[in-house]
Structure 1
Amino acid sequence: DPKAFAVPPKGRFGNSGVNTLVGQGINVHHLSLAKRFRLTERVGFTFTSAISDIFNHPHFQNPRNNISDPDPGKLTALIPDYNPEKQAGRHISMKLRIEW
């Protein structure tokens, strides 16, 4: 609630506690599926699919924390490169492995 804060007088720091503003959490889900197929007793193959950030949720940076701003607490930007693969959004990879 932005109305819970007030701009302190000049030369003062105010009395807001440390870490009272909390940003959004990261909501990311991954999925991996694999299926093994046998052609003969010795030969077969395995198909694997891996999906990173399956629901493709946006991840926002921390909200504005300057209370003299016209819109304090507003989410304005996305976190760049938040997932380990350094991909923007959903990433799908498929693999086919032949075994003999």
Structure 2
Amino acid sequence: MKHFFIEELLPKAGGSVYRLTRMAARRALELSEGRPSLMRKPSSDKVTTIALEEIAEGRIVYNKEASSVSSKDSTSPRAVLMRGNLASSQEKASVS
């Protein structure tokens, strides 16, 4: 099992543990749905480990300006991960 150090991964997610968790979870979900890995030879067959490896290697990045998570190759639609719509979540919370 590969070990990851939070100190190395946090800067990849803008310093937010929550954002890092969301990035990894969203990418792991994509991988479990059959999307290909962005790595040639992942060290594991577990989707969570592959997602964290992709983040650690900089293949998945957080784009602060666009509020999105994407791969370095933003031309590939398979590689783009969009964050949930924060505004609609806040609207739902304020209506309740």
Same fold? TM cut 0.5: no
Task: With the length of structure 2 as denominator, give the TM-score of the two structures.
Answer: 0.20
Q: Which has the higher helix share?
A: 2
Computing the radius of gyration over CA atoms, which structure comes out larger, 1 or 2? Answer: 1
Where relative contact order (Cα < 8 A, 6+ residues apart) is larger, the structure is 1
TM-score after normalising by structure 1: 0.19
